[in-house]
Amino acid sequence: MLPAGELTSPNQASYGETHVQRLRLIRALLDVGGLSVAAIREVIVAVDDPDRSVHMMLGTVASGLVPRYDHEAHAGIEEARKRVAALIAARGWRVDPGNPASEALAAALAAVDEVGHGSFVQVLDTYADAAERVARADLDYVAGNVAREELVESVVVGTVMGDAIFSALRRMVHTDTSDRTFGEAT
């Protein structure tokens, strides 16, 4: 995963800024992204492949960041997959229904249905609207980087840290909205 250093003697090598940057990338993918060493190796291969488009390279990174679930454990998974496919089609998204994020959404929708809250899908379009805005913001941030490795790092930051930031903001607004809606007048 790390290119060889420049040999300075038979048993010593010198490592430059390129090596330090690669180590930072590996560390970010491991620590922040939570990727396995095998997944990191796939990302590094994608980064180092000049014939792979930036879109395909970023897709490799993003796919590695999606949590894996036992999708088949949910009784309603096939119906949920149909809902996800319909959502993708209705919004004109260029996303394969077998995409790991599509599968994760289907698993979440099936689980919501299993616990008796199938009507939650009524807010799915509102969630999709918000997701489109956030994804555009993420990719605007990514587009500000030029080097391929910087693009990968920014995807990790934008996706993993962005998820944490967005979740925290959402919970803060939940608190505010709950107080305004259900709180006692002060």
Dist CA 89 CA 117 (whole Å): 24
Which pLDDT does position 186 carry in this prediction?
A: 54
Total-model pTM: 0.75
**In this structure, is residue 178 part of a structural domain?**
no
Is pLDDT above 80 for 126? yes
**In this structure, is residue 21 part of a structural domain?**
no
**In this structure, is residue 61 part of a structural domain?**
no
Which pLDDT does position 110 carry in this prediction?
A: 94
Lowest-pLDDT range, 8-12, 162-166, 175-179?
Answer: 162-166
**In this structure, is residue 89 part of a structural domain?**
yes
- Widest Cα–Cα separation across the chain: 77
**In this structure, is residue 100 part of a structural domain?**
yes
Closest by Cα among 40, 43, 48, 45 to 18: 48
**In this structure, is residue 101 part of a structural domain?**
yes
Query: 179 exposed, middle or buried (CB, 10 Å; 0-12, 13-18, 19+)?
Result: exposed
Question: pLDDT digits over 68-85, tens only?
Answer: 666 567 789 999 999 999
Q: What is the mean pLDDT of the chain?
A: 85
Angle, CA 80 vertex, CA 119 and CA 177 arms, to 5°: 40
Q: How many domains does the chain have?
A: 1
Question: pLDDT digits over 25-48, tens only?
Answer: 888 878 877 778 888 888 788 778
**In this structure, is residue 55 part of a structural domain?**
no
**In this structure, is residue 92 part of a structural domain?**
yes
User: Which domain covers residue 104, as residue numbers?
Assistant: 67-122
pLDDT band at residue 1, thresholds of 50, 70 and 90?
confident
